[in-house]
Amino acid sequence: MTGRRRLVNGYRSWLYPVLARTDPERAHSLALKSLGVAGSTSMGLKWLAPTLDERLVVQCFGLRFANPLGVAAGLDKNGEAVAGLLKLGFGSIEVGTVTPQPQQGNPRPRVWRFTEERALINALGFPSQGAAAVRKRLVGRQFPGVVGVNVGKNRSTAAEEAAVDYVAVIDALWDVADFFTINVSSPNTPGLRDLQRRETLLGILSQVMEQNRRSARLHDKPERPVLVKIAPDLTDDALDEVLSGIVDGEASGVIVSNTTIDHTLLNRATNQLPGGLSGRPLKALALDKVRKVRQRVGASLPIIGVGGIENAADVIERMRAGASLVQLYTSFVYGGPALPGVIVSDLLEFVEREGLSSINEIVGTEDP
């Protein structure tokens, strides 16, 4: 057993049970602050990071990812621990969701743990310090990985004005982000998922892309990749509709998927808790959606797979189904800071065992 794997087991056996006695949001805040401090030092957390290897590099959206494993949006909403998380071995991080103006989100309690099932339910509702605060943390800094920003609208903004909010965040953060994700799929902001309808999404993407072009001209740099994050609960017809909007709106890729409102995936009653379910129970549903998206769009639209990613086998399965990259969040809560290093090291062992020149060779190789 490697040292990192021992640390994961030790975290699960000793440290997590202590954290589990703390309010989920307070524990999360303490962990982010610790990662923020560690990431700001010269050595920081490098001893936990796996060895870099060109065979794990993924070129996607015109960006170079050191490996396919990323941090999903929601873990670091305000860009407080970007360097620390990347030093753990992640190839990328998606900060956010970021709203134009600060907002508190929904009333507490709004996060619930389901430890035995490695799951969370959250009804956060985009608590955000706002684009200006995130900018202060990112501007002028070089990070050891790709940094994206997940963009949302303020709760007080009417759905028909959502594009104004998305544009405002992109305008504020364009020069400090490598890519942007348009979040139209969180279940915790009323009416947000209605923005996945084709014509509505096309209208949003039209304004977002225009801002992207303006910012690119202003900074004399190429346009940023713009992705769209979709819900796992879409019917087949609704999936066709949102993908039509994504393709026709010339988005660079799709993130599959956000949290699910189907709490029956848990093996216990949730007493009608609000919010979205993430973690292990979401795995099968999210994997199925990746397969369906790949079947519909082929290789023309890169996919980032999210939902129930816990280990290297899950990463490999999601990539074979069609994802070029993956992201995790909930398993990091339960696995601790050594988990990304374990996963990336295991991916390298897989590449060596299979005699692959690049992990990209497995993308979309699953038999239909």
Model confidence, pTM: 0.95
Mean pLDDT for each consecutive 10-residue tract of the chain (368 residues)? 78 84 90 84 66 93 97 96 93 96 94 94 94 97 94 93 96 98 85 84 95 97 97 93 94 95 85 90 97 94 97 98 97 93 95 97 89
CA distance 232 to 239: 9
How does DSSP classify residue 88? T
Domain-by-domain residue ranges, the chain?
3-355
**Cis-peptide, bond into residue 24, ω within 30° of zero:** no
The SS3 assignment for 97 reads: strand
The per-residue DSSP string of 235-270 comes to -HHHHHHHHHHHHHTT-SEEEE---BS-GGGSSS--
172: left (phi over 0), alpha (psi -120 to 50) or beta: alpha
Characterize 277-306 residue by residue with b for buried, 16 or more Cβ atoms within 10 angstroms of its Cβ, and e for exposed.
bbbbbbbebbbebbbbbbeebeeebbbbbb
CA distance 151 to 131: 9
CA distance 221 to 72: 26
- Catalytic positions, written as ranges: 186
Tell me, what's the pLDDT at 46?
65
Tell me, what's the pLDDT at 335?
92
355: left (phi over 0), alpha (psi -120 to 50) or beta: left
Tell me, what's the pLDDT at 45?
64
For the chain, helix, strand, coil in percent to 5 are 45, 15, 40
The contacts of residue 56 (CB under 8 Å, 6+ apart) are: 66, 67, 68, 91, 344, 347, 348, 351, 359
Tell me, what's the pLDDT at 44?
57
- Edge-to-edge strands, sheet with 111-114: 111-114, 119-122, 276-279
Evaluate whether 232 touches 205 at the Cβ level (below 8 Å): no
How does DSSP classify residue 154? -
How does DSSP classify residue 338? T
The contacts of residue 258 (CB under 8 Å, 6+ apart) are: 183, 185, 186, 187, 229, 230, 231, 232, 276, 306
The SS3 assignment for 109 reads: coil
The per-residue DSSP string of 42-61 comes to SSTTGGGSPPP-GGG-EEET
CA distance 67 to 59: 9
CA distance 153 to 161: 9
Instruction: Could you please state the CATH topology (level 3) that the domain comprising 3-355 is classified under.
Output: TIM Barrel (3.20.20)
Tell me, what's the pLDDT at 47?
64
The per-residue DSSP string of 194-216 comes to GGGSHHHHHHHHHHHHHHHHHHH
Tell me, what's the pLDDT at 19?
83
Characterize 334-368 residue by residue with b for buried, 16 or more Cβ atoms within 10 angstroms of its Cβ, and e for exposed.
bbbbbbbbbbbbbbbebbeeeeeeebbebbbebee
Tell me, what's the pLDDT at 43?
57
CA distance 120 to 275: 10
Q: Which of 130, 155, 3 is nearest to 78 (CA)?
A: 130
Tell me, what's the pLDDT at 102?
97
List pLDDT tens digits, range 41-81.
755 566 677 778 999 999 999 999 999 999 999 999 999 99
Number of C-beta neighbours around residue 158 at 10 A: 10
